[in-house]
Amino acid sequence: MNHLSIHKTFDNGSFVMLINDTKERYLATQNFDPEKSVYGEKMIKLNDIEYRIWDPFRSKLAAAILKNLETNPIKESSAVLYLGASTGTTVSHVSDIVGNKGVIFAVEPSARVAREFLENVASRRKNIIPILMDARDYLHYYSYYGVVDVIYSDIAQPDQTDIAINNCKSYLKKDGHLVIIIKTRSIDVLMDPKLVTKNEAKKLERNSFEIIQIVNLEPFDKDHSLIHAKFMG
Ligand code: SAM
């Protein structure tokens, strides 16, 4: 990785773009859980601040940012409903970004990955509230909390967009943001991936969303796109 320095600072420094001597770029987030690496990612100290390198091959949000996502709606202090937490790779970086004043409601139904998520990530970070349920059961898991600023959805299901829309209608504030990862092969293996993404974007538009940006995640993730949309309420 050789010598790294800060190239660009985002959102009050909660995450940064680093650059090395050969001009390769890396993302990194300020570690909210000091000295703990979550998935084997490298850690680096710059100006006395500990950062965790954010791997775009492991986290689709990092891939989208490196592929010029114009605005990351997840910021310091954001309240985020995260669908499909898995073992917590991306959730951990989102937790670094939202920090002390933010909160993440992290939904994951699979006991196999949830155990690792709880032990390694959620139990160590005060800004994460794990919800061990299916996001299709959105009416049951979340009634004790009001609305959130952002819903992030990465669940690789054929009905992934409908699940995200239902969650938004119940828990996303007006003018709040949806970030949804479209795994095109989960929806239709035969259709052109670009067309699948376009159809899902149209579905969002029919349901009171304004599309802000669509980012193709190749070469980091094949047949995946990220849609960033605003919920008009
Ligand atoms: N977002 C994770 C990350 O970047 O670290 C990776 C998520 S992985 C691609 C998809 C996850 O969605 C799996 O852990 C799976 O168990 C979960 N999932 C699948 N169907 C779901 C549903 N109906 N509700 C909530 N989560 C679901």
pLDDT tens for each residue of 103-127: 999 999 999 999 999 999 999 999 9
pLDDT of residue 187: 84
For 15-63, write each residue's pLDDT tens digit. Answer: 999 999 999 999 999 999 999 999 999 999 999 999 999 999 999 999 9
CA of 104 to the centre of ligand 1 (A): 15
CA of 113 to the centre of ligand 1 (A): 9
The share of the chain scoring above pLDDT 90, in percent, equals 84
Is the pTM above the cut of 0.85?
yes
Pocket of ligand 1 (CB under 6 A): 59-60, 83-84, 86, 89-90, 107-110, 113, 134-136, 154-157, 163
pLDDT of residue 81: 96
Say if residue 145's pLDDT is above 80: no
CA of 12 to the centre of ligand 1 (A): 29
Helix, strand, coil in percent for the chain, rounding step 5: 30, 35, 35
CB 88 within 8 A of CB 116: yes
Cross-strand bridge partners of residue 182 = 225
- Number of neighbouring beta carbons within 10 Å of residue 132: 17
Q: In what order do the strands lie in the sheet with 224-231?
A: 128-131, 103-107, 79-83, 148-153, 172-183, 224-231, 209-216
CB 61 within 8 A of CB 86: no
The HSE-up count of residue 167 (CA atoms within 13 Å, CB side) is 35
Say if residue 1's pLDDT is above 80: no
Say if residue 13's pLDDT is above 90: no
Using 50, 70 and 90 to split pLDDT, how confident is the model at 154? Answer: very high
Say if residue 143's pLDDT is above 70: no
Q: Shortest CA distance to 80 belongs to which of 154, 8, 23?
A: 154
Q: Which residue among 82, 105, 140, 155 has the greatest number of ligand 1 atoms within 8 angstroms of its CB, and so is best to mutate?
A: 155
Segments in 155-217 forming alpha helices (H): 160-171, 184-187, 193-206
Say if residue 146's pLDDT is above 90: no
Mean pLDDT to the nearest integer, 181-191 = 85
Q: Which residue among 105, 154, 179 has the greatest number of ligand 1 atoms within 8 angstroms of its CB, and so is best to mutate?
A: 154
